[in-house]
Amino acid sequence: MKIVSYNVNGLRSALRKGLADWLAAEAPDVVCLQEIKATEADVDLAPLEALGYQMYWHPAAKKGYSGVATLVKQAPRHVQIGCGIEAYDLEGRVLLVHLCTGEAVLNVYMPSGTTGEVRQDFKFAWLADFMAFAQQMASHYEELFIVGDFNIAHTEQDIHNPVANKNSSGFLPEERTWMTQYLQAGFTDGYRHLHPDGRDYSWWTFRAGARARNIGWRIDYITATAKLAARLKAARMAREAEHSDHCPVVVEWD
């Protein structure tokens, strides 16, 4: 089976740039999209429905902002929208789908702190609350993927210029420590598990030709509980997909 996580930075824009064609060629079983910036009523779903996907949504209350959506090819056992904390659920940040094959997939779009101190404090509060929520979900689902845009580059391998960015949101010591603690709490970084020396990135600024020069950050993850991690067989950053300032993360498992 194959799962894709992709911050599309606007689903309507990504579809105009050929997202459906890329999905048709890639043929993932599960697709987790972040930063969809739309509601179901805003999007022409025909290209996705033609590929056999059913789509589940958690848009933000604010129009054109944030939001996540998960596409599956078979009806799930259960869908949970949100995490039960209003401040986060209003921003459309969490969506869990319990697949008919038994695995659960938690699609998450973590906050960014790049716009200033208020949002950085919001992000720190989120990280504390999400750790507890992730552990709660793992206690319910032994086979759990937690995937999405974490907005954190974990180590110096995960960012092109760690020295220049040591004080940048997304690479702050507190954020990196949180990521270490999250992984130590029982979650495996699928890409790093299979590529311990890999230096692939998943996000590039639109400025200064950063993508062409590969000046990027790896802030998008597919993580898995131990029972699933043992079944992982492939992981990659699908850099050929250019529908966003991010690229998809792709993981396959037995």
Catalytic residues: 109, 149
Cα–Cα distances in Å, from 49 out to 1, 54, 200? 19, 7, 31
Pull the structure tokens for residue 85.
Answer: 């904390």
Put the strands of the sheet holding 94-98 in their side by side order.
78-81, 94-98, 104-109, 144-149, 220-225, 187-189
> CA-to-CA distance for 53 and 31, rounded, in angstroms?
9
Pull the structure tokens for residue 208.
Answer: 């200064």
Kindly report the three-state secondary structure assignment for every residue of 3-48.
Answer: EEEEECCCHHHHHHCCHHHHHHHHCCCEEEEECCCCCHHHCCCHHH
> CA-to-CA distance for 13 and 106, rounded, in angstroms?
24
Strand-pairing partners, residue 37, are none
Closest by CA position to 223, among listed 241, 214, 235, 215:
235
